[in-house]
């Protein structure tokens, strides 16, 4: 008599992909301790140098970029997924160039504010159009999982835009749907549309709260750059993790049918 093979659990997903997982793993959603460090340390280093020496903009930028470079090189050497850290490094470089050209430390945060504004507009626009962004993304990942089968899952050690489509059992598939977009047209899936809309509103709230707090600090100029940096850290990963958890609570019942 042989034991039946154990079902391998779906890997934890990062970023927005975590909301379609079987269970919510906050640390995995943020990319683990390594992902957190790669996101937070460059900002902490920048605001620390500027706080100690307000005129030392270039050294602050160099220190911040150096930390991002170390994270990128480390992942390349270890042959780990680099999509997130490359995105972070690109953001750091653009932010540094913007601050260097303007000569103002507060300009280091301009690109991040713009990205939050774009995400907010995308969320609100999707709600107005009747295509809630969370539902659209989960449907795309579900379709990708169906197309990819069990041929691997990729790296789950990253956070942010990079997500792992995962296995069939980990997606937010709505029972009885006709294809990944069934929730859009099926009258019986009104509850799914409602939950996706609420989840998208929560995601929009995350970006809106960041802008509400950070924009006035940004407009205050270099005198508030330390407070802006702290706000960016506090309203970054902690708020993101909380928002993803609320979204997961909203959409997880759809997977269970």
Report if residue 5 sits inside a domain: no
Q: Which tops the pLDDT comparison, 102 or 17?
A: 102
Domain extent at residue 113 = 15-256
Distance between CA atoms of 138 and 127, rounded to whole angstroms?
15
- The answer to whether residue 56 is domain-embedded is yes
Does residue 40 lie within any of the structural domains? yes
Q: What confidence tens digit (pLDDT) does each residue in 17-58 have?
A: 677 777 888 787 777 888 788 888 888 888 889 888 888 888
Report the pLDDT value the prediction gives residue 70, as an integer from 0 to 100. Answer: 87
The closest alpha carbon to 32, from 237, 172, 248, 242, belongs to 237
Q: What would the mean pLDDT of 195-221 be, rounded to a whole number?
A: 96
Q: Establish if 149 belongs to a structural domain.
A: yes
pLDDT at site 179: 63
Predicted pLDDT of residue 85 = 62
Asked whether 239 and 206 are in contact (CB, 8 A), the reply is yes
The pLDDT value given to residue 219: 94
pLDDT digits (tens, 9 = 90+) for 172-198: 444 444 566 778 877 888 898 999 999
Q: Is residue 200 part of a domain?
A: yes
133 in a structural domain: yes
Q: What is the average pLDDT score of the chain?
A: 79
Nearest to 113 by CA among 45, 213, 15: 213
pLDDT value at position 234? 92
The lowest-confidence range among 101-105, 134-138, 142-146, 235-239 is: 142-146
- pLDDT-derived band of residue 122, with 50, 70 and 90 as boundaries? very high
DSSP 103: T
Supply angle C-alpha 159, 160, 165, rounded to 5: 80
Task: Over range 124-150, report the average pLDDT.
Answer: 82
Mean of pLDDT values over 133-162: 60
Q: Please check whether residue 230 is in contact with residue 47, taking contact to mean a CB–CB distance below 8 angstroms.
A: yes
| Domains identified in the chain, total number | 1
Cα 88 to chain centroid distance, Å, stands at 11
To 10 degrees, what angle do helices 237-256 and 32-52 make? 160
- The runs of H, that is alpha helices, within the chain are 26-29, 32-52, 57-77, 83-102, 110-129, 133-148, 182-185, 190-219, 225-234, 237-256
CB contact at 8 A, 141 and 164: no
* Single pTM value for the model: 0.78
pLDDT in tens, 44-101: 888 889 888 888 888 988 998 898 888 888 877 877 666 666 776 788 888 888 888 8
The percent of residues in the chain predicted with pLDDT above 90, rounded, is 32
- Provide mean pLDDT across the span 123-136: 94
Write the DSSP string, 16-81.
GGGGGSSS--HHHHTTHHHHHHHHHHHHHHHHHHHHH-TT-HHHHHHHHHHHHHHHHHHHHHTT--
Q: Quick one: pLDDT band at residue 199, thresholds 50, 70, 90?
A: very high
- Tell me whether residue 217 is in a domain: yes
Domain assignment present for residue 150? The answer is: yes
């Amino acid at each position: 008599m042989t034991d039946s093979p154990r079902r391998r659990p779906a890997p934890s997903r990062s970023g927005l992909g975590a909301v379609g997982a079987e269970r919510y793993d906050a640390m995995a959603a943020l990319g683990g301790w390594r992902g957190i460090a790669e996101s937070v340390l460059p900002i902490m280093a920048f605001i620390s140098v500027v706080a100690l020496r307000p005129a030392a903009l270039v050294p602050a930028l160099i220190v911040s970029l150096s930390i991002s470079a170390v994270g990128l090189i480390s992942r390349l050497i270890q042959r780990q997924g680099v999509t997130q850290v490359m995105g972070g490094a690109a953001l750091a470089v653009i932010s540094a160039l913007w601050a260097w050209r303007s000569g103002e430390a507060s300009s280091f945060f301009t690109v991040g504010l713009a990205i939050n504004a774009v995400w907010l507009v995308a969320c609100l626009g999707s709600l107005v159009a009747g295509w809630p962004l969370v539902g659209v993304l989960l449907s795309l990942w579900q379709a990708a999982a169906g197309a990819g089968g069990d041929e691997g899952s990729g790296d789950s050690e990253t956070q942010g835009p990079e997500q792992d489509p995962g296995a069939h059992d980990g997606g937010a598939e709505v029972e009885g749907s006709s294809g990944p977009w069934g929730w859009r047209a099926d009258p019986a899936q009104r509850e799914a549309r409602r939950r996706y809309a609420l989840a998208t509103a929560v995601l929009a709230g995350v970006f809106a709260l960041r802008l509400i707090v950070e924009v006035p600090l940004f407009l205050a100029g270099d005198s508030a750059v330390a407070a802006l940096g702290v706000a960016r850290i506090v309203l970054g990963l902690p708020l993101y993790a909380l928002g993803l958890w609320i979204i997961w609570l909203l959409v997880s019942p759809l997977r269970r049918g």
